[in-house]
Structure 1
Amino acid sequence: MTDVVLDAVTAEPDWLRCESCRELVYGRRYRRDLRICPHCRAHGRLTAPERIATLFDPGSVVDLPAVEVAEDPLGFAAQRPYPESLARARAQTGLPEAALCVRATIEGEPVYAVVLDFRFLGGSMGVAVGEAVTRTAEAALRDRLPLLLVTASGGARMQEGALSLMQMAKTSQALAALDEAGVLTITLVTDPTYGGVAASFTTLTDVVLAEPGAHLGFAGPRVIAQTTGQRLPEGFQTAEFLLARGLIDDVVPRVAVPGAIARLLRVAAPAPLEPDDPLALLPSAHQPSPWLMRIGKQSKEAEPAQVAEPAGAAERTAWEAVRLARHPDRPTTADYVSYLLTDFHELHGDRIGGDSRAVIAGLGRLGDLPIVLVGHDKGHRTTERTARNFGMASPAGYRKAARVMRLAAKLGLPVVTLIDTPGADPGPDSESNGQAVAIAENLRLMARLPVPVVCVVIGEGGSGGALAVGVGNRVLAAEHAVYSVISPEGCAAILWKDPAAAPDAATALRLTPRDLLGQGVIDAIVPEPPGGAHTDPIRAAELLGEAVERTLRELSTMSADELVTQRFNRFRALGGPAV
């Protein structure tokens, strides 16, 4: 925003011109609206004190002690001596350095936070900022409280030379320690975030959120354009550009940021053991999962799984089962999320360069149980089904699922997967990007997850694309779902030499829940409303939620070692020697 008229009383802009849409904006309204243009919704920059005032609960903020370091380790001087630049920045901003560190709450959830201020030498990271980030991370580690990083920076501070560069390694080490301890970390990227700050702690957190229009990158666009001589794409390095390429988790408008962060904190914040808790004496590998420690004292008695015997399952022809499993109105993962979960926040991208809308992944609550959910989603209407590639995930989708499941392992949260896909995406781009490798990596990862894993085939379970999120301690199937090594049409074309023989192939493949239960491929069948889940999606969701919750509680007393061993033995026994 550019000043037009100054208010003589407040000495602040009375009228502004938006740098994005060039419309005039009344200054007081602009500040009241958190510096968001009312015409184009462009997000202006907030100072660190403004950010703290708008992000955290009133009265909850406790400032952490300022960091004292050598201020001019190189005796650096350019147009002016470095100490003069520091003094000028302090006078202009009223801040001791480019980072403010606090302990506070967001909607009642405690958190440690580091907030950078771009006004202070471009929010650059020198020794003081690196030390501030590291000490705040260490405080979060000590108290086992989540860490929030609000970034705005031009990168490492040139005036401190290689010492500034080394702060990238130091802060990254601090984030790695929080990973090992299972402490949630979140970044809020604001405009702009570049250089060494972007290439260290900013992008190492569990969840990376960004404000609309925020720029994030290593090299700035002008440097890239001058170096390469190439014309950069529209919106290059903006939050929206990065989201579409799987590099950040979400773009969140400023007014919605506190709620989004609070949801993540409610689901994922660890609960420290009380000193007199006997579980505290057990080695971590032998403790029940941390999520149970939060809900275990009020855990309901585990009830039996739904339908445990083939005789109790509905009798339909295999082809009828296939047609019901593929019904376009059948509830999808997105539907089940909306019906069953609270505090759900979807995470996006594989952090490598891609995303897949065929896979939904995120954190939420099933009743009082915090969980990580991963599921295929086919969509309903034609446009939605096309956008979601009919539930056929690319390698980026499976790598996204893997990233979120690793987060579940870090935080000690159970994983619930919902399977509904005709198979993995068969296109040339997916093959070029390692589809087989992505699926294989997921199978290995899920085999060793130290948390409860419950998988449910909610519709069509097709081939390795389904199994890639199907390695669980318990595998359930909805009453009218199917699960097979290949589609009936594909099988008929290969073995019958006639696609019209698909009904015969479906029968031969024995792909119905009744068949699968008898084979030991699934452990239980989840009932559906009469006629199928599409006839009453809400009731279908209730039945699914009850089955998953009961199954999770059944697994809740098992330690990490026991969960991994049970999962290994379950799949080891499939197709073993006849007794």
Structure 2
Amino acid sequence: MPDSARATIEAVASAFTELPVDDGPDPGVDGPIGWRGYDGARVSAAERTGERESVVCGVGKVGDAEAMLIAFEFGYLGGSLGGRTGLRLERAFGRARELGVPVVSLIATGGSRMQEGMRALSQLQRIARESALTRAAGLPQVAVLRDPTTGGGWATLGAGADVTLALPGAQVGFAGSRVRPPGDPAAYTAEGQFASGHVDQLLDPAWLRAKLERWLRLLTTPGTEAVPPGALGGADLPDTGWAAVQQARAASRPRAESYVDAYFEWREDISGDRCGGVDDGVLCGFGYRDGATIAYAAQCGTATRPAGFRTAARLVRLADRLGIPVLTLVDTPGAANDADAERAGIGPAIAEMFEAVASARVPVTTLVIGEGGSGGALAFAAEGRTWVTPDSYFSVTSPEAAARILKRAEAEVPTTADQLRLRPQDLVELGIARGIVTPTR
């Protein structure tokens, strides 16, 4: 990946028009706090890089989409954020809102510029305000983390983006290498941030332009609603409740990944709850279907953990803000209920998902494709817009748990399953599901 700002822009955009540069009033000798030698350092940086500041901003064409591109020049004082940097970023975000285009930040920064003291640090508030205004305008923000992305650049443009992409091997963290305490160096890498749920994707630099093209298309071409997918399993309905449970638990039954792959022409996943967690049992992202985008949040058959609920809630909120309809797939024996899940906030995480679905203004469509175990499954389901497959069930709790609660013998579990009326046809009769989808083949 090229290091300079302009080479980075050239690598991702087919056309670029830089914004007119107006860096505001002269900050005075050696800047706002009179840091000795600051003027000389800026002159040297300009001579070395050909830039007058640490960011280059302008409108570029990335595939078919126009976007406001913000590229950091690390060669200019370590890509640091100063007063004039903040002014340029403010104007870039403002122009993006005027044009109604997304913002793509190509970040390489060591953080705030100490030679400007608190004047530099206060630019983070300025950036946060502009980002919030752009978010309120319904425009997406995508960040690409280059090497390094630390300090305030990570804590605003990077971590605050809707979708965060990172180049492998990049140093990423709030603490720079010279100020962090001794410890695990892997935590301060792109790979470490991905594993901890703070980065959506790690990208081979050779595929950066193609990935940005895909992401910008997905985030700017919303569909109208998600029609429920056709069933991928069998068409036969179960005769008993226990047969429904066994059918849904069958190892051969199609799972979420098969459904989303069949439903979309292509898709891009997001990853992580931005709170330090990843749940591989929940699949979230945006997919392209019939010329438009639909978001998806799918349970993959395991007990859903707090990070899974938070990631799905994050997906639903983002889709709602961008006007993108959502498809949810229900398939879980229930929410994780071990001690670690309780300590990680399984209850609040489930509540977060319930709230995200309930408050969504875009249509949310649900298909139960397997097990529908209790509240951990219901949190993914849209009231009044839920369908079921023939090889699924939905229950207030599992038949085994119900039998234990009622102090029944294990032999009575099948009878309990029948009493719970959890079969697909029962769910339609009870008004829980709108209908049973059939196989499309």
What's the TM-score, normalizing by structure 2?
0.93
The range that moved more, 151-160 or 63-72, is 63-72
Matches of residues 180-329 of structure 1 in structure 2 within 5 Å? 180-225=136-181, 231-269=182-220, 291-292=223-224, 314-329=237-252
After superposition, the Cα gap between the structure-2 partners of 1:453 and 1:472, relative to the gap in structure 1 and judged at 3 Å, is: farther
Alignment of 1:10-25 (within 5 A): none
Aligned to 2:285: 362
- 1:74–1:372 CA distance, 2 compared to 1 (3 A): farther
Is the CA contact (8 Å cut-off) linking 1:109 and 1:266 kept in structure 2? yes
Match of 1:413, SS state, is coil
Distance 1:80 1:437, change over 3 A: closer
CA 1:103/1:353 → structure 2, altered by over 3 Å: closer, same or farther?
same
What amino acid is aligned across from residue 62 of structure 1 in structure 2? T
Q: Which residue of 1 aligns with 2:348?
A: 437
Q: Specify which structure has the bigger relative contact order, considering alpha-carbon pairs within 8 angstroms and separated by 6 or more residues.
A: 2
* Number of positions where the alignment pairs a residue of Structure 1 with one of Structure 2: 437
How many Å separate the matches in 2 of 1:401 and 1:75?
49
C-alpha separation in 1, matches of 2:383 and 2:294: 14
Give the Cα separation in 2 of the matches to 1:223 and 1:240: 20
> What amino acid sits opposite 2:213 in the alignment?
A
> How far off its partner does 1:441 sit?
2.3
Task: Tell me the C-alpha RMSD between the 2 structures.
Answer: 2.3
Q: Distance in 2 between matches of 1:490 and 1:464?
A: 13
Counterpart Cα distance in 2 of 1:429 and 1:75: 53
Alpha-carbon shift at residue 305 of structure 1 (Å): 11
User: Which residue matches 2:413?
Assistant: 502
Q: Is residue 6 of structure 2 the alignment partner of residue 83 of structure 1? A: no
Q: Are 1:489 and 2:412 counterparts?
A: no
2:20 partner amino acid? P
Partner of 2:272: 349
CA 1:101–1:257 in 2, change beyond 3 Å: closer, same or farther? same
How far apart are the structure 2 equivalents of 1:104 and 1:445? 34
Shift of 1:340: 1.8
Query: What residue number does 2:9 align with?
Result: 52
Equivalent residue letter for 1:347: I
How much has 1:442 moved relative to structure 2?
1.7
Conserved in 2, the CA contact under 8 Å of 1:313 and 1:513? Answer: no
Which residue of 131, 143, 146 corresponds with 1:175?
131
Per the TM alignment, residue 522 of structure 1 is displaced from its structure 2 partner at its CA by: 0.6
| Contact in 1 for aligned 2:80/2:111 (Cα 8 Å) | yes
For 2:10, the aligned partner's letter is A
Matched, 1:517 2:420: no
Structure 2: runs of 5+ lacking an equivalent: none
Give the secondary-structure state (helix, strand or coil) at the position aligned to 2:212: helix
Q: Which SS does the other structure have where 2:122 is aligned? A: helix
Aligned to 1:457: 368
Local SS of the residue matching 1:209: strand
Aligned-partner Cα distance in 2 for 1:129–1:409: 32
d(CA) in 1 for partners of 2:257 and 2:362? Answer: 23
Are 2:316 and 1:405 equivalent residues in the alignment? yes
State the Cα deviation string for residues 118-156 of structure 1 (Å, max 9, x = none). 111000011121111111111111111110001111111
Note if contact 2:330-2:368 (Cα within 8 Å) is conserved in structure 1. Answer: yes
Q: Within 1, Cα distance between the matches of 2:305 and 2:326?
A: 21
* 4+ residue runs over 6 A deviation: 302-307
- Residue 429 of structure 1 aligns to a residue whose secondary structure is helix
Counterpart of 1:422?
A: 333
- Output one character per residue of 1:70-119: Cα deviation in whole Å (capped at 9) or x when no partner: 35346358895212111110100111211111211112221111000111
C-alpha displacement of 1:313: 8.0
Equivalent residues of 2:86, 2:127 under 8 A apart: yes
Q: Secondary structure at the match of 2:436?
A: strand
Q: Equivalent of 2:381, from 452, 470, 478?
A: 470
Q: Which moved more, 1:397-406 or 1:251-260?
A: 251-260
Shift of 1:62: 1.3
Say whether the 8 Å CA contact 1:263–1:343 is kept in structure 2.
no
- Give the conservation status (yes or no) of the 8 Å contact 2:196–2:278: yes
Match for residue 69 of structure 1? Answer: 24
CA distance in 1: counterparts of 2:35 and 2:313, whole angstroms:
50
Alpha-carbon separation, structure 1, partners of 2:123 and 2:391: 56
CA deviations over 1:480-525 (Å, ceiling 9, x no partner): 2100011112222332532232211111111011001000011111
| Structure 1 position 409, deviation (Å) | 1.0
Q: Percent of aligned positions with the same letter in both sequences?
A: 34
State the distance in 2 between where 1:333 and 1:524 align: 19
CA deviation map 1:336-384 (0-9, x unaligned): 2222213411001111111111111101123234111000013xxxxxx
Do the aligned partners of residues 315 and 185 (structure 1) sit closer, same or farther apart at CA in structure 2, a change above 3 Å counting? same
CA distance in 2, matches of 1:74, 1:471: 61
Whole-angstrom CA distance in 2 between matches of 1:71 and 1:481 = 68
